[in-house]
Amino acid sequence: MKRHYLILCALLLLLLAACGGSQPTTPADSGDTGSSSQTVTTPAAEAAGPVIVRVGWGGSPDTLNPGTAVLAEAYTIFELVYDSMYQLQPDGSYTLELAESVDVSADGTVYTYTLRDGITFHDGERLTASDVAFSYNLYASQEDFPFLPIYTSYFDSVEAPDDKTVVLTLTEAIPNIESQLIYLYVLPEHIWADVPDAAEFENTAMIGSGPFKMKEYRQNEFVSLDAVKDHYLKGPQIDGAVFQTFDNPDALVQALKTGQVDMITEMPNTAVAALRNDANVQVVSGPPLSPSVTDIIFNVVTPENCPPDDGICTGHPALQDRNVRLALAHATDKQNIIDVVLLGLGAPGLTLIPDSLGDFYNDQIQDYEFDIALANQILDDAGYVDSNNDGVRETPDGRDLIFRLNWPSDSVDSPRMAELLAGNWGQIGVRTEQQSLDPDTLTSICCPAFDFDIILWGWGSDPDPSFLLSVMTTDEITTGTNETGYSNPEYDELFVQQATTLDDAQRIAIIHRMQEIAHHDIPYIIPYYAQEVQAFRLDRFRGWLTDAGKVALEDPSSLLVIEPVNR
Amino acid sequence: MKRSRYIAQKVGWALLTILFVITLNFFLFRVLPGDPARAGVRDPRLTREAVEAIRVRFGLDKPVINCFQSLNPMETGDCFINPLDTQFFIYVGNLLQGELGISYHTNRPVADMLMEMLWNTLLLIGLGQILAIVLGMSLGVLAAWKARTAVDHGALLFSLTAWSLPTFWLGIILLFIGSSYWGLPIGGRLTPGTVYNTSIERWLDIGNHLILPTLTYTIVFLGEYMLIMRSTLLDVLSEDYILTAKAKGISTFQILKDHALRNAMLPMVTIIALNLGFTVTGAIQIETVFSWPGLGGAIFTAVNRRDYPMLQGAFLLIAISVIFANLAADLFYSYLDPRVEDS
């Protein structure tokens, strides 16, 4: 009896002791917070310590291994820590990075790069041509690297005849070598050559040759980088940069407001108005540096194009009629969708090629204006009438114009857009059956199965348009990349032409023509091109690149030039 | 004799449950729709060769178990293969060696990742639980002792309110107040980029980051403990033997301490054990609001990315901790009330 009581008592005492133990830390902490709240009110820069820019974002790199990384956050860090042959500038142009010059053979298949002098890795070793050749060959040969082999698909051989010369031989001449090389980061051979399995390498030390070097990485917490002041290009004006992860978007905005971070790379659009009113904060918006597009996908695959192995092809036959798609396009109020879904932070879309692709984007196309009466007229004329007066039109052979409308369940914007579309299209006698689907299920009904009518989805892309253009070619119907089943021989022909046209102006003209065709045929309605919205504090650093056309404050183009306000 | 048999029986059941969980855990993820090889890297540009390479890397090309090539879609296979070369036995074999596989998403060993996050979660939730238990129980005893007075009503009102507050809402409100007026850090566990001269500085930084999430957790759980403590103690205080004790002239404090509290502890032990078991899952909402790098958030991410090895490891950890917490409750119960061994 007594013993039990003692045990209970001891347990309570333990709890109390643990509680008491935690008590002393609280006063000490609040003392500590007193000082940190001072740093909030007085802008830090005059402090004697290192000048570090603090960036807040919602994600975290999935891995530091450039071969297996998927997330954009990882690529942001790679851009800062590694170098590649070219650097993509925010205005869409490319500059040479590791090389000081390049010599292209007359037939356009041999590129001879001469590297700059005095390039070193962060561990002090020299970066030579053999590191470049080693890296390119690694990317080309590693089947376990999911994406990079795509960029090396035109490589015939990479050689390093001497320390400063890299000879890259291609299997055929291509117009966009720059966009093939920007993500092929040059790795130190003296480290990676000894790695037994490159795809399993965690690469936590992350030795590169970029203007920042890895200091500390804690997944889902932060990435801390030190500046390389004596970098062979212009070194950073700051001493370091940290990227802190905030799982909660409201907390991210609050961190900027209270000065716990100096810049945020993303925010919910609902926060934009409040931040614009903050005198200490500047909000920047515009096309993103990494092109992305949101699309309304119509299943237009014809029976003869239905993929023989994987195709189910249950699309509504009316969607194969351009008149129906044209009516839907005229009945889609894009500006309203932008105002409601994006709170105005977007531009009306035309085709899969977004405005963030710069010169490749054809801004001369006249879009289908929002006109319900015209849309109704088009359907009337094409023979789609509501003969049984149930509010839904029927096809000439009596099938209701009821379309399945699906979107990925992890999309925040799609449910609202679907609701708006249902309202718009309801006015022309078209009904939708809406359902959000888990992304895997959506992939399985989408393509190459073509077991859907309409899907709301989207794409991200390289700075070069060839991938997004390929999405509408007949060849990609069976692979599942062509999600509409769209097929137009003239378009396919032009796609082949642009892939081999080396003259920039000519190639752009072909690509503009392709967009006109796609816009005319309406395999997609592109509701909008969403803008990138970022914000920074005015009292900490100045020099952020805000007028370069595209918005990417986390890009080296900003982080290399910003400097503290009070210096 | 009877006692040791009781313990052996309880431990035996716990181990059996763990075995069942290990098996279920494996098959559960194999019947889910979708291809994990594609889900890890969701990009249609992935070539067939690349997908195949990923399948080989994670052993997904091997048959699930004898007679079954895969479970989704149900696909029968060769029954006369070496069972040790099937996904199931490779999984069990690795488990025995403490290996939980490689995360599809991060390419890191799951065991390492879980370990890192387990400590973070235990720190946050452990501290919050201890505070909630101590404060909640004290408040409950106080309310029962001063039943039907202003103190009781006040404590009751406070606890009911605290218990019914949505966790994420309270978290966000505290986050806004704490960061705007008290200068507390908004998220994370450490101030990134700080150079710590001593480990004390480091712990002070962690402590600073802990204040808001711990406060949220304590307030939310305190109410539950208080209400249960109060009501059971009120029951006990109405028993005849308490009246007898009063008649003997024993002081109120002595009655509470020696006669009432011990009997009132039984339901508390159950609740505490259950809550401690689920501690390991972390508090997804609190961890998300305060960007605390714990297990709850990691499980959420893993579900989104269909990171099977990570989910398997996390589920196993949760199951084992719940089973052990229940075992501990059973054993502790038999100490408090020896009668349970008889039944």
Whole-number mean pLDDT of chain A?
87
CATH code of the domain covering residue B225: 1.10.3720.10
Q: What is the mean pLDDT of residues A538-542?
A: 93
Q: Are B88 and B64 in contact, with CB atoms under 8 Å apart?
A: yes
- Read off the pLDDT of residues B133-173 as tens digits, 9 standing for 90 and up: 999 999 999 998 888 899 999 999 999 998 888 888 999 99
Angle at A25 between CA A21 and CA A27, to 5 degrees: 125
Q: Is A108 left (phi over 0), alpha (psi -120 to 50) or beta?
A: left
Q: What is the mean pLDDT of residues A411-439?
A: 93
Nearest to B190 among A221, A255, A443 (CB): A221
| Cβ contacts from A onto B, under 8 A | 189
Q: Which residues of A touch B186 (CB under 8 A)?
A: 246, 251, 254-255, 258, 260
Both structure tokens of A75: 């690529």
- Read off the pLDDT of residues B253-273 as tens digits, 9 standing for 90 and up: 888 877 888 778 888 888 888
| DSSP-assigned states of every residue in A49-71 | S--EEEEEES---S-S-TTT--S
More confidently predicted of B71 and A206: A206
CA dist A259 and A249 (Å) reads: 16
Sorted by sequence, the CB contacts under 8 Å of residue A189 that are 6+ apart come out as: A130, A131, A134, A135
Say if B22 falls within a structural domain: no
Confirm or reject contact between B240 and chain A (CB < 8 A).
no
Whole-number mean pLDDT of chain B?
83
| Closest by CA position to A337, among listed A533, A525, A114, A132 | A525
Q: Are B221 and B275 in contact, with CB atoms under 8 Å apart?
A: yes
Task: Report the chain B residue with the minimal C-alpha distance to residue A239.
Answer: B193
Sorted by sequence, the CB contacts under 8 Å of residue B270 that are 6+ apart come out as: B329, B333
Could you give the count of Cα atoms lying within 13 Å of A54 in the half-sphere of its Cβ? 24
CA dist A448 and A443 (Å) reads: 9
Sorted by sequence, the CB contacts under 8 Å of residue B67 that are 6+ apart come out as: B76, B77, B78, B79
Tell whether the model's pLDDT for residue A1 goes beyond 50: no
Buried b (16+ CB within 10 A) or exposed e, A148-160: bbbbbebbeebbb
For residue A350, the tally of other CB atoms under 10 A from its CB is: 26
Say if B99 falls within a structural domain: no
Highest mean pLDDT among A435-449, A505-519, B327-341: A505-519
Handedness of CA A193, A198, A203, A206 (dihedral sign): positive
CA dist A376 and A429 (Å) reads: 8
Tell whether the model's pLDDT for residue A44 goes beyond 50: no
Confirm or reject contact between B141 and chain A (CB < 8 A).
no
Residues 257-316 of B with CB under 8 A from A: 258, 261-262, 265, 287-291, 293, 297-298, 301, 304, 306
Tell whether the model's pLDDT for residue B46 goes beyond 70: no
- Read off the pLDDT of residues B273-297 as tens digits, 9 standing for 90 and up: 878 776 666 578 888 889 998 888 8
Longest CA pairwise span in chain B (Å): 86
pLDDT-based confidence at B60, cuts 50/70/90? confident
More confidently predicted of A548 and A100: A100
Tell whether the model's pLDDT for residue B54 goes beyond 80: no
Say if B273 falls within a structural domain: yes
| Closest by CA position to A511, among listed A357, A383, A394 | A357
Predicted pLDDT at A120: 94
Nearest to A143 among B50, B293, B306 (CB): B50
Range of the domain at B276: 110-342
Both structure tokens of B81: 């293969």
Predicted pLDDT at A13: 38
Nearest to B335 among A7, A243, A258 (CB): A7
Q: Are A255 and A261 in contact, with CB atoms under 8 Å apart?
A: yes
| DSSP-assigned states of every residue in B212-248 | HHHHHHHHHHHHHHHHHHHHHHHHHHTSHHHHHHHHT
Both structure tokens of B206: 């962690």
Residue from B262, B291, B306 whose CB has the most chain A CBs within 10 Å, to mutate: B291
Q: Alpha helix locations (H) across A258-411?
A: 272-276, 322-330, 334-341, 372-381
Give Cα separations from A102 to A98, A454, A504 (angstroms). 11, 47, 18
- Least reliable range by pLDDT among A124-128, B58-62, B310-314: B58-62
| Closest by CA position to A350, among listed A158, A516, A507 | A516
- Read off the pLDDT of residues A172-218 as tens digits, 9 standing for 90 and up: 999 889 989 999 999 999 999 999 888 888 899 999 999 999 999 98
- Read off the pLDDT of residues A466-482 as tens digits, 9 standing for 90 and up: 889 999 999 989 888 89
Q: Are B237 and B259 in contact, with CB atoms under 8 Å apart?
A: no
Say if B201 falls within a structural domain: yes
Query: What pTM did the predictor assign?
Result: 0.84
- Counting the structural domains of chain B, the total is 1
Tell whether the model's pLDDT for residue A388 goes beyond 80: yes
| Closest by CA position to A129, among listed A147, A150, A112, A153 | A112
Residue with tokens 């763990």: B18
Say if B183 falls within a structural domain: yes
- Read off the pLDDT of residues B107-137 as tens digits, 9 standing for 90 and up: 788 888 888 888 888 899 889 989 999 999 9
